[in-house]
Chains A and B, each alone.
Chain A
């Protein structure tokens, strides 16, 4: 099976712009979660989608949003980018519904905001 794929792998944007990141989970996985990783805050949960519905959301401003499509692919969007949004954005897919299963992570998208 192919692993979790994320596109693009690297992205450079300027303040005020918006960005869309994409994640394709492992085939058959229906749950996708997004995490932000920064040197200062570490790994933080952004949101989780299951069957096209957002099931949980982390403590991030409304500039961060996401969605999931019927084929389980997910996108996250960040509007009005700020310097502090520079981070590695990781997506993870889970094979089974239920609390705390092993998650399979993609390679991440490295976003740099100038």
Chain B
């Protein structure tokens, strides 16, 4: 089963607007990652934030992490039509010591950016 939930499930905005997606998770984490998926294709890594970080930026992306609330948000500023995709948060559990790669994904947010 999914560890986390994302909201909204779907988001429709116009080009130039900002898009904010939220992710909640259930267990202690080592880090949280955001991925993007275009139309049922492979996932593309966007950004990783570690449990001891509160905010991280990468280009037009801003991620925040609140471990006390077990939640994260992804902000995409000045959205473009090319940002249309599904966005997933994924957590690496703090219990997975020695295990490199198990990620637990959220339910995803479908973002539609219109011209």
Distance to closest chain A CB from B50 (angstroms): 8
Q: From the candidates A4, A42, A94, A101, name the one contacting B105 in the complex (CB within 8 A).
A: A42
Contacts of B97 in A (CB 8 A): 99
For A45, give the chain B residue with the smallest CB separation: B102
**Could you give, for residues 38-61 of chain A, a 1 whenever the CB lies within 8 Å of some chain B CB and a 0 otherwise?**
000111110010100001101000
Distance to closest chain A CB from B89 (angstroms): 11
Distance to closest chain A CB from B36 (angstroms): 10
Q: Are A98 and B107 in contact (CB under 8 A)?
A: no
Question: Which interface class (under 10, 10 to 19, 20 to 34, 35 or more) fits A?
Answer: 20 to 34
Complex-state Cα separation, A35 to B92, whole angstroms? 14
Q: Are B31 and A100 in contact (CB under 8 A)?
A: yes
Contacts of A37 in B (CB 8 A): 40
Q: Are A100 and B48 in contact (CB under 8 A)?
A: yes
Instruction: Please tell me if A21 contacts chain B, counting CB pairs below 8 Å.
Output: no
Most chain A CB neighbours (cut-off 10 Å) among B96, B102, B105, B106: B102
Instruction: Please tell me if B104 contacts chain A, counting CB pairs below 8 Å.
Output: yes
Instruction: Please tell me if B25 contacts chain A, counting CB pairs below 8 Å.
Output: no
Complex-state Cα separation, A96 to B108, whole angstroms? 26
The secondary-structure label for the interface of chain A is: strand
Distance to closest chain B CB from A22 (angstroms): 15
Q: From the candidates A43, A90, A99, A105, name the one contacting B96 in the complex (CB within 8 A).
A: A99
Instruction: Please tell me if A12 contacts chain B, counting CB pairs below 8 Å.
Output: no
Instruction: Please tell me if A81 contacts chain B, counting CB pairs below 8 Å.
Output: no
Distance to closest chain A CB from B97 (angstroms): 6
Distance to closest chain B CB from A27 (angstroms): 17
Q: Are A43 and B101 in contact (CB under 8 A)?
A: no
Q: Are B42 and A108 in contact (CB under 8 A)?
A: yes
- Given contacts A42-B107, A43-B2, list 10 more A-B pairs with CB under 8 A: A42-B105, A56-B101, A88-B40, A97-B100, A99-B96, A99-B97, A99-B98, A103-B103, A104-B45, A108-B40
Which B residues are within 8 Å of any A CB, using their own CB? 1-2, 29-31, 33, 35, 40-45, 48, 88, 90, 92, 94, 96-108
